[in-house]
Amino acid sequence: MSKNLVIVESPAKAKTIEKYLGKDFKVLSSVGHIRSIAKKTKDGTAPIDVAAGFKTVYEVDPEKKKVITELKKAIKDANDVWLATDEDREGEAIAWHLCEVLKLDPAKTKRIVFHEITKGAIEEAIKKPRTVDMHLVQAQQARQILDRLVGFELSPVVWQKVPGGKSAGRVQSPAVRLLVEREREIQSFEGSFSFKVTAVFTTSGEELRAELPQRFKTEAEAQAFLESLTDATFTVSNVTKSPSTRNPGAPFTTSTLQQEANSRLGFGSKATMASAQRLYQEGKITYMRTDSVNLSGQALAQMSEYITSEFGAEYHQVRKFKTKSASAQEAHEAIRPTDVRTTAASGDNYDQKLYDLIRRRTLASQMAPAKLEKTTITINVSTRKEVFEAKGEVIVFDGFLKVYGANKKEEAILPAVSSGDTLDLNEAAARQVFARPPARYSEGSLVKKLEELGIGRPSTYATIINTVQVRGYAVKGENEGQPRDVIVFSLDKDNVKRDVVQEKTGSDRGKLVPTASGEVVSDFLTNHFDQIVDYGFTADVEEEFDEIANGKMERNKMLEDFYKPFHKLIEESGGIDRSTVAQAREIGIDPKSGKPILARFGRFGPMLQLGNPDRDDKENKPQFAPMPQGARVETVTLEQALQAFQLPREVGKTPEGEVIKANIGRFGPYIQVGKTFVSIKPLDPHDITEEEARELYAEKLKKDAEKFIQEFPGGIQVLNGRYGPYITDGKKNAKIPKDKDPKTLTEIEVKDLLAATPNKKPFRRGGRAKK
* Integer-rounded Cα radius of gyration of the chain: 32
Which parts of the chain have pLDDT scores under 70? 1-2, 325-331, 406-411, 614-619, 759-771
The span from the CA of 401 to the CA of 371, in Å, is 10
The span from the CA of 670 to the CA of 663, in Å, is 6
Contact 537, 528 (CB under 8 A): no
Catalytic residue among 287, 315, 441, 697: 287
Q: Is the peptide bond before 648 cis (omega within 30 degrees of 0)?
A: yes
Q: Which residues pair with 252 in a beta bridge?
A: 335
The one-letter amino acid code at 580 reads T
φ/ψ of 357, rounded to 5, equals -65, -45
Q: How far apart are the first and last CA of the chain?
A: 29
The span from the CA of 403 to the CA of 368, in Å, is 11
Per residue in 672-715, pLDDT (tens digit) is: 999 899 999 888 888 899 999 999 999 988 888 878 888 898 88
φ/ψ of 182, rounded to 5, equals -65, -40
- At residue 407, the pLDDT reads 56
Kindly state the DSSP code that residue 397 receives in the 8-state scheme.
E
Per residue in 250-284, pLDDT (tens digit) is: 999 999 999 999 999 999 999 999 999 999 999 99
Contact 195, 216 (CB under 8 A): yes
Spatial CB neighbours of 568, under 8 Å, sequence gap ≥ 6? none
Contact 109, 132 (CB under 8 A): yes
Is the full-model pTM beyond 0.75?
yes
58 is catalytic: no
CA 499 to chain centre: 41
- At residue 763, the pLDDT reads 37
Contact 222, 430 (CB under 8 A): yes
Spatial CB neighbours of 467, under 8 Å, sequence gap ≥ 6? 169, 172, 767
The span from the CA of 575 to the CA of 451, in Å, is 36
**Cα–Cα distances in angstroms (integers) from residue 525 to residues 144, 156, 250, 446, 532, in the given order:** 21, 13, 38, 20, 7
